[in-house]
Amino acid sequence: MANLQSRRMALGGHRTTGPVAALDIGCSKITCLIGRNDGTGPRHFQILGSGRQQSRGFSGGTITDMEGLERSIRLAVEDAEREAGEQINQVMLGITGARVMCSLVTATIEIGGREINAKDVRRLQAAAMADVSTKGVEVLAAWPVAYRVDQQEGVREPAGMYCDTLGLFLSVVTAPKAMVRNLVECVGRAHLSVNALIPSSIASGAGTLIDDEIENGAICIDMGAGVTAVSVYLNGSPAWVGLVPAGGTHVTSDIAQGIGTTFAAAERLKSIYGTANLEGPGLAERIEAPRLGDDGRLQATRMERGKLAEIIAPRIEETFELIQKTLESSGVRKVLPRRVVLTGGASQLPGVRDVATRILEAPVRLGRPTIAEFLGETLGTPAFSTASGLLLYQELGFADAVRAGIASKEYGSEVRGGAVNKAFHWLKENF
């Protein structure tokens, strides 16, 4: 069984000798990382520089102010360049939002009993891509999740095997062309070109999951400020992505509304005293909880920490209930892994893992970037999982069939014909 590194080398290495820049545009912060692989392994990065800025003009995956977002991007990149001592001109860019969609497609071609070669695999990928509608959308990635060699299912690398028919199960991620164009244009105004657009949820998984979790399957849940991104890895490949419109800022807003205070004061209360555990220790402790007085100014008051937990816990529970529903409605619901990794800034709130374990009914661990030792104490936290995953994405060498979609014209009607493109029975039963 090929592991990630050997398959990466088989795909041509994907190793870059120069610096790699990652740009993560989130709802609360914009992060730019500049790093260089030291040549000893795909996860061995020397971090040359980093920059962070408060995110402006971006909310829930939607640009609300082009000028504000451009300025935030420019400042974050300039900080990273200054620390690295060199300029960058292209970035690995993360993309998120409710309109980033994932679909699962299948295809079958005839081999005729001979040995499967690389051209056959490309032809099969092209056949699957030919069935993907691109009207109004941009295909961001298409990952081969599993092949079927005659009646043998779940094959990862079919080349070199003999069979009569070869099938493919492909995960395709798309985003509206206007959304992609606006995001690329905004980054371009900061004098940067986009080397690759990567779904942020997949980048979070790439940055947080260890090789064993990617190989054998895991669910990565990235709890951000405005949204919670979910990714599923199967058979050593990204298999599905989803989004829940709830995050850390919703918890903060609940606190501000619940006790009558400012958003900034509520954020501080959440960070210092917040917990989603209604049965933990210290809930009877009285804490400072400033409230707005009649004059519109904050006044010093006190409340029990348990009262704060009673505001936080329902929102966290609702978030994981939505995650559960999203996973149950996904195309991979019948083969979901049992391993769950939590990451993202909001995952650090005490009690969140316990809620996740109870609602998802699965073992849950808190994850941070796998290259945390290279990122240092400040950046090696769950809040920077997506940015680190953007650095790692090309190094991990996930196969992408998007290029095969272009080749579909080469095969013409062969890849579009009726019999060769029917969905397999086993996929319907298992996926």
Chain segment 234-253, per-residue pLDDT in tens: 999 999 999 999 999 999 99
Share above pLDDT 70 across residues of the chain, in percent, rounded to a whole number: 89
Give the pLDDT confidence score for residue 411 in this predicted structure. Answer: 42
pLDDT band at 286 (very low <50, low <70, confident <90, very high): very high
| Residues forming CATH 3.30.1490.110 domain(s) in the chain | 101-177
| pLDDT tier, 1 (very low <50, low <70, confident <90, very high otherwise) | very low
pLDDT grade for 431, boundaries at 50, 70 and 90:
very low
- How much is the average pLDDT of 372-389? 91
Read off φ and ψ for residue 98, nearest 5 degrees.
-65, -20
d(CA 361, CA 396): 30
Residue 404 CA to residue 409 CA, distance in Å, equals 10
pLDDT value at position 27?
Answer: 83
CATH 3.20.20.70 fits 101-177, yes or no: no
248-313: CATH number: 3.30.420.40
Residue-wise DSSP of 112-149: TTSB--HHHHHHHHHHHHHTS--TTEEEEEEEEEEEEE
Give the number of C-alpha atoms closer than 13 A to the C-alpha of residue 61, restricted to the C-beta side: 26
pLDDT of 55 > 70? The answer is: yes
d(Cα 148, Cα 150) in Å, to the nearest integer?
6
pLDDT tens across 59-77, in order?
Answer: 877 889 999 999 999 999 9
Predicted TM-score of the model (pTM):
0.87
Q: Write out the two tokens for 234.
A: 């199967």
Query: Where are the CATH 3.30.420.40 domain residues in the chain?
Result: 248-313
Place of tokens 């892994």: 337
Q: Where does the pLDDT of residue 3 fall: very low under 50, low under 70, confident under 90, or very high at 90 and above?
A: low
Q: What is the pLDDT of residues 104-125, one digit of tens each?
A: 999 999 999 999 999 999 999 9
pLDDT digits (tens, 9 = 90+) for 9-31: 444 444 556 899 999 998 889 99
Q: Quick one: tokens of 74?
A: 């420019």
Would you say residue 418 has pLDDT above 90? no
Choose the weakest-confidence range: 13-17, 167-171, 190-194: 13-17
* Tokens read off for 267: 């954020």
Sign of the torsion formed by the C-alpha atoms of 8, 12, 13 and 16: negative
**Mean per-residue pLDDT of the chain:** 87
Mean pLDDT of 174-189: 92
Contact status, residue 243 vs residue 325, Cβ threshold 8 Å: no
The helix or strand, by DSSP H or E, that contains position 59, with its residue range, turns out to be strand 58-59
Q: DSSP letter at 319?
A: H
- Per-residue pLDDT of 293-325, as tens digits, reads 999 999 999 999 999 999 999 999 999 999 999
Cβ–Cβ < 8 Å for 158, 78: no
